[in-house]
Amino acid sequence: MKKLYGFSGDHDEILVTALKADPILAFEYDQLVPEMKTLLINGLKANFNIGQLVQGESTAAALKSLVGLRPDEFNLFVSHIFFDIAGALGHIAPAGSKLMTENLYSGIRIILEEVPALLNGSANVLQVYFKIMQAIGKLINIEVKTIEDMTLLRMAKLLGVDSALSYGEFRSTFNQLVPLEQNKLLQGFAVSGFDDGLALLPYYGPRVLKFIEKGLSKNGQVVVDKIESYQLTLASFVKVLAAFTKKTARRTDIGVYTLEFTDCFVK
Protein backbone atom coordinates (compact mmCIF):
# COMPACT_ATOMS: atom_id res chain seq x y z
CA MET A 1 0.00 0.00 0.00
CA LYS A 2 2.90 2.34 0.73
CA LYS A 3 4.17 1.84 -2.81
CA LEU A 4 0.77 2.36 -4.45
CA TYR A 5 -0.69 5.18 -2.39
CA GLY A 6 2.20 6.72 -0.48
CA PHE A 7 1.14 5.50 2.97
CA SER A 8 1.00 2.25 4.91
CA GLY A 9 -2.02 0.12 5.73
CA ASP A 10 -2.42 1.65 9.19
CA HIS A 11 -6.08 2.64 9.55
CA ASP A 12 -5.27 5.80 11.56
CA GLU A 13 -2.95 7.00 8.81
CA ILE A 14 -5.58 6.25 6.15
CA LEU A 15 -8.24 8.16 8.10
CA VAL A 16 -5.99 11.19 8.70
CA THR A 17 -4.99 11.27 5.03
CA ALA A 18 -8.64 11.12 3.92
CA LEU A 19 -9.81 13.78 6.38
CA LYS A 20 -7.05 16.18 5.38
CA ALA A 21 -7.53 15.58 1.65
CA ASP A 22 -11.34 15.79 1.56
CA PRO A 23 -12.88 16.60 4.96
CA ILE A 24 -16.41 16.95 3.57
CA LEU A 25 -16.46 13.16 3.11
CA ALA A 26 -16.94 12.95 6.90
CA PHE A 27 -19.83 15.31 7.64
CA GLU A 28 -19.36 15.27 11.42
CA TYR A 29 -15.66 16.09 11.11
CA ASP A 30 -16.37 18.90 8.64
CA GLN A 31 -18.71 20.54 11.17
CA LEU A 32 -16.05 20.73 13.90
CA VAL A 33 -14.42 24.03 14.81
CA PRO A 34 -10.76 24.31 13.66
CA GLU A 35 -9.39 23.67 17.17
CA MET A 36 -11.23 20.36 17.45
CA LYS A 37 -10.13 19.33 13.97
CA THR A 38 -6.52 19.94 14.96
CA LEU A 39 -7.00 17.97 18.18
CA LEU A 40 -8.46 15.03 16.26
CA ILE A 41 -5.81 15.00 13.52
CA ASN A 42 -2.84 15.34 15.90
CA GLY A 43 -4.24 12.71 18.23
CA LEU A 44 -4.78 10.20 15.45
CA LYS A 45 -1.40 10.70 13.76
CA ALA A 46 0.64 10.03 16.90
CA ASN A 47 1.94 6.80 15.30
CA PHE A 48 2.44 5.26 18.73
CA ASN A 49 2.20 1.47 19.07
CA ILE A 50 0.84 1.35 22.60
CA GLY A 51 0.19 -2.40 22.38
CA GLN A 52 3.84 -3.32 21.90
CA LEU A 53 4.92 -0.99 24.69
CA VAL A 54 2.27 -2.25 27.12
CA GLN A 55 3.54 -5.80 26.51
CA GLY A 56 7.13 -4.75 27.19
CA GLU A 57 8.30 -5.53 23.65
CA SER A 58 9.14 -2.03 22.40
CA THR A 59 12.24 0.09 22.88
CA ALA A 60 12.40 3.67 24.12
CA ALA A 61 12.14 4.87 20.53
CA ALA A 62 8.44 3.98 20.63
CA LEU A 63 7.88 7.09 22.75
CA LYS A 64 9.53 9.53 20.33
CA SER A 65 6.34 10.20 18.40
CA LEU A 66 4.71 11.52 21.59
CA VAL A 67 7.25 14.31 22.07
CA GLY A 68 5.51 17.62 21.34
CA LEU A 69 2.02 16.16 21.71
CA ARG A 70 -0.37 18.11 23.93
CA PRO A 71 -1.97 16.25 26.88
CA ASP A 72 -5.45 16.49 25.33
CA GLU A 73 -4.12 15.09 22.03
CA PHE A 74 -2.48 12.21 23.88
CA ASN A 75 -5.69 11.53 25.84
CA LEU A 76 -7.70 11.42 22.62
CA PHE A 77 -5.22 9.00 21.10
CA VAL A 78 -5.33 6.65 24.10
CA SER A 79 -9.13 6.85 24.24
CA HIS A 80 -9.49 5.79 20.62
CA ILE A 81 -6.97 2.95 21.11
CA PHE A 82 -8.82 1.81 24.22
CA PHE A 83 -12.13 1.55 22.36
CA ASP A 84 -10.39 0.02 19.33
CA ILE A 85 -8.97 -2.82 21.44
CA ALA A 86 -12.08 -3.22 23.58
CA GLY A 87 -14.32 -3.47 20.51
CA ALA A 88 -12.18 -5.94 18.60
CA LEU A 89 -13.89 -9.32 18.07
CA GLY A 90 -17.18 -7.70 19.11
CA HIS A 91 -18.97 -9.70 16.44
CA ILE A 92 -17.97 -12.84 18.37
CA ALA A 93 -18.57 -11.59 21.91
CA PRO A 94 -20.97 -8.61 21.77
CA ALA A 95 -21.68 -8.75 25.49
CA GLY A 96 -18.11 -7.91 26.50
CA SER A 97 -14.52 -7.57 25.34
CA LYS A 98 -12.37 -10.58 24.49
CA LEU A 99 -9.17 -8.53 24.37
CA MET A 100 -9.45 -5.83 27.03
CA THR A 101 -8.32 -8.02 29.89
CA GLU A 102 -7.30 -6.91 33.37
CA ASN A 103 -3.62 -7.39 32.46
CA LEU A 104 -3.93 -5.31 29.31
CA TYR A 105 -5.79 -2.56 31.13
CA SER A 106 -3.11 -2.55 33.85
CA GLY A 107 -0.52 -1.97 31.13
CA ILE A 108 -2.48 0.89 29.59
CA ARG A 109 -2.77 2.45 33.03
CA ILE A 110 1.01 2.42 33.33
CA ILE A 111 1.27 4.39 30.08
CA LEU A 112 -1.34 6.88 31.29
CA GLU A 113 0.54 7.39 34.56
CA GLU A 114 4.07 7.71 33.16
CA VAL A 115 3.72 9.49 29.79
CA PRO A 116 2.48 12.86 31.21
CA ALA A 117 6.02 13.45 32.53
CA LEU A 118 7.24 13.26 28.94
CA LEU A 119 4.50 15.58 27.67
CA ASN A 120 5.18 18.26 30.28
CA GLY A 121 8.95 18.06 29.89
CA SER A 122 9.75 16.90 33.42
CA ALA A 123 11.33 13.67 32.11
CA ASN A 124 12.90 12.59 28.82
CA VAL A 125 12.15 9.60 26.62
CA LEU A 126 14.73 7.30 28.21
CA GLN A 127 13.65 8.16 31.75
CA VAL A 128 9.97 7.57 31.01
CA TYR A 129 10.71 4.29 29.21
CA PHE A 130 12.72 3.03 32.18
CA LYS A 131 9.85 3.90 34.54
CA ILE A 132 7.39 2.09 32.26
CA MET A 133 9.54 -1.04 32.18
CA GLN A 134 9.92 -0.91 35.96
CA ALA A 135 6.14 -0.81 36.31
CA ILE A 136 5.68 -3.65 33.78
CA GLY A 137 8.16 -5.72 35.78
CA LYS A 138 6.31 -4.93 38.99
CA LEU A 139 3.13 -6.45 37.51
CA ILE A 140 4.85 -9.85 37.62
CA ASN A 141 6.90 -9.12 40.78
CA ILE A 142 10.15 -8.54 38.89
CA GLU A 143 12.40 -5.72 40.13
CA VAL A 144 14.09 -3.59 37.47
CA LYS A 145 17.02 -1.56 38.82
CA THR A 146 19.55 -1.48 35.98
CA ILE A 147 19.73 -1.32 32.19
CA GLU A 148 20.63 -5.02 32.22
CA ASP A 149 17.53 -5.83 34.27
CA MET A 150 15.42 -3.85 31.80
CA THR A 151 16.99 -5.56 28.78
CA LEU A 152 16.44 -9.03 30.21
CA LEU A 153 12.83 -8.19 31.02
CA ARG A 154 12.27 -6.98 27.46
CA MET A 155 13.71 -10.20 26.02
CA ALA A 156 11.52 -12.21 28.38
CA LYS A 157 8.41 -10.26 27.38
CA LEU A 158 9.27 -10.82 23.72
CA LEU A 159 8.98 -14.52 24.51
CA GLY A 160 5.61 -14.08 26.18
CA VAL A 161 6.77 -14.36 29.80
CA ASP A 162 3.85 -13.32 32.01
CA SER A 163 4.67 -14.49 35.54
CA ALA A 164 7.48 -14.51 38.07
CA LEU A 165 7.74 -18.28 37.68
CA SER A 166 8.19 -18.20 33.91
CA TYR A 167 10.61 -15.26 34.26
CA GLY A 168 12.68 -17.35 36.67
CA GLU A 169 12.77 -20.18 34.12
CA PHE A 170 13.80 -17.69 31.43
CA ARG A 171 16.62 -16.26 33.60
CA SER A 172 17.84 -19.73 34.51
CA THR A 173 18.07 -20.58 30.81
CA PHE A 174 19.78 -17.29 29.95
CA ASN A 175 22.39 -17.88 32.66
CA GLN A 176 23.27 -21.21 31.03
CA LEU A 177 24.33 -19.49 27.80
CA VAL A 178 28.04 -19.02 27.22
CA PRO A 179 29.20 -15.53 28.28
CA LEU A 180 29.82 -14.46 24.67
CA GLU A 181 26.21 -15.14 23.68
CA GLN A 182 24.91 -13.50 26.85
CA ASN A 183 26.88 -10.33 26.10
CA LYS A 184 25.75 -10.27 22.46
CA LEU A 185 22.09 -10.49 23.46
CA LEU A 186 22.41 -7.93 26.25
CA GLN A 187 24.23 -5.43 24.03
CA GLY A 188 21.97 -6.03 21.03
CA PHE A 189 18.66 -5.76 22.85
CA ALA A 190 19.79 -2.83 25.02
CA VAL A 191 19.87 -0.42 22.05
CA SER A 192 17.01 2.02 22.54
CA GLY A 193 16.75 3.41 19.01
CA PHE A 194 16.28 6.86 20.53
CA ASP A 195 19.79 8.29 20.37
CA ASP A 196 22.09 5.28 19.98
CA GLY A 197 21.46 3.79 16.53
CA LEU A 198 18.99 1.21 15.27
CA ALA A 199 17.10 -0.91 17.77
CA LEU A 200 15.94 -4.42 16.95
CA LEU A 201 12.27 -5.33 17.14
CA PRO A 202 11.74 -9.01 16.24
CA TYR A 203 8.41 -9.29 14.50
CA TYR A 204 6.08 -11.82 16.14
CA GLY A 205 8.69 -12.36 18.83
CA PRO A 206 6.15 -13.10 21.58
CA ARG A 207 4.76 -16.01 19.61
CA VAL A 208 8.00 -17.81 18.74
CA LEU A 209 7.98 -19.80 21.99
CA LYS A 210 4.44 -21.02 21.35
CA PHE A 211 5.35 -22.04 17.78
CA ILE A 212 8.38 -23.96 18.96
CA GLU A 213 6.40 -25.71 21.69
CA LYS A 214 3.70 -26.62 19.19
CA GLY A 215 6.30 -28.02 16.82
CA LEU A 216 7.75 -30.11 19.64
CA SER A 217 4.41 -31.46 20.79
CA LYS A 218 3.05 -34.93 20.33
CA ASN A 219 -0.68 -35.57 20.14
CA GLY A 220 -1.28 -32.07 21.42
CA GLN A 221 0.98 -32.55 24.45
CA VAL A 222 4.23 -30.60 24.83
CA VAL A 223 7.07 -33.10 25.09
CA VAL A 224 9.76 -30.67 26.27
CA ASP A 225 9.86 -28.61 29.46
CA LYS A 226 9.95 -24.82 29.60
CA ILE A 227 13.71 -24.67 30.10
CA GLU A 228 14.24 -26.64 26.90
CA SER A 229 11.84 -24.33 25.05
CA TYR A 230 13.63 -21.22 26.29
CA GLN A 231 16.96 -22.73 25.21
CA LEU A 232 15.62 -23.06 21.69
CA THR A 233 14.06 -19.61 21.61
CA LEU A 234 17.15 -17.87 22.99
CA ALA A 235 19.21 -19.69 20.36
CA SER A 236 16.79 -18.26 17.78
CA PHE A 237 17.32 -14.78 19.26
CA VAL A 238 21.06 -15.16 18.68
CA LYS A 239 20.33 -15.91 15.00
CA VAL A 240 17.87 -13.02 14.80
CA LEU A 241 20.47 -10.64 16.22
CA ALA A 242 23.11 -11.89 13.78
CA ALA A 243 20.74 -11.37 10.84
CA PHE A 244 19.86 -7.89 12.11
CA THR A 245 23.55 -6.96 12.44
CA LYS A 246 24.23 -8.14 8.89
CA LYS A 247 21.23 -6.34 7.36
CA THR A 248 21.96 -3.03 9.08
CA ALA A 249 25.76 -3.05 8.93
CA ARG A 250 25.98 0.03 6.66
CA ARG A 251 23.14 2.00 8.19
CA THR A 252 23.86 5.01 10.39
CA ASP A 253 20.31 6.15 11.12
CA ILE A 254 18.47 6.07 14.43
CA GLY A 255 15.18 4.35 15.14
CA VAL A 256 13.63 0.88 15.22
CA TYR A 257 14.28 -1.88 12.71
CA THR A 258 11.55 -4.52 12.54
CA LEU A 259 12.89 -7.91 11.53
CA GLU A 260 10.68 -10.88 10.73
CA PHE A 261 11.83 -14.24 12.02
CA THR A 262 11.44 -15.72 8.53
CA ASP A 263 14.14 -13.34 7.30
CA CYS A 264 16.59 -14.99 9.67
CA PHE A 265 16.07 -18.63 8.80
CA VAL A 266 15.04 -18.66 5.15
CA LYS A 267 17.88 -18.22 2.70
Print pLDDT tens along the chain (267 aa).
444 445 555 777 888 888 888 877 788 888 889 899 888 888 888 878 888 888 888 999 999 989 989 999 999 888 888 887 777 766 676 666 767 777 888 888 999 999 999 999 999 999 999 999 999 999 999 999 999 999 999 999 988 888 999 899 999 999 999 999 999 999 999 999 999 989 988 876 545 555 555 555 556 555 556 677 778 778 878 888 888 888 888 888 898 888 776 555 544
Residue 91: per-residue pLDDT: 67
Please check whether residue 169 lies inside any domain of the structure.
yes
Please check whether residue 205 lies inside any domain of the structure.
yes
Residue 147: per-residue pLDDT: 95
Pairing of strands 255-260, 198-203: parallel
Please check whether residue 201 lies inside any domain of the structure.
yes
The residues that bridge with 203 in the sheet, in sequence order, are: 260
Please check whether residue 229 lies inside any domain of the structure.
yes
Please check whether residue 94 lies inside any domain of the structure.
no
- What whole-number distance in Å separates Cα of residue 127 and Cα of residue 185? 22
Please check whether residue 126 lies inside any domain of the structure.
no
pTM recorded for the entire structure: 0.83
Please check whether residue 227 lies inside any domain of the structure.
yes
The residues that bridge with 154 in the sheet, in sequence order, are: none
Of the candidates 191, 192, 206, 197, the residue with the CA atom closest to the CA atom of residue 237: 206
Instruction: Please check whether residue 97 is in contact with residue 158, taking contact to mean a CB–CB distance below 8 angstroms.
Output: no
53 CB contacts (<8 Å, ≥6 apart)? 62, 63, 111, 132
**In terms of residue numbers, what domain contains 186?**
162-267
- What whole-number distance in Å separates Cα of residue 239 and Cα of residue 245? 10
Q: How many domains does the chain have?
A: 1
Please check whether residue 46 lies inside any domain of the structure.
no
- What whole-number distance in Å separates Cα of residue 159 and Cα of residue 157? 5
Tell the burial category of 84 from Cβ atoms under 10 Å away from its Cβ (0-12, 13-18, 19+). Answer: middle
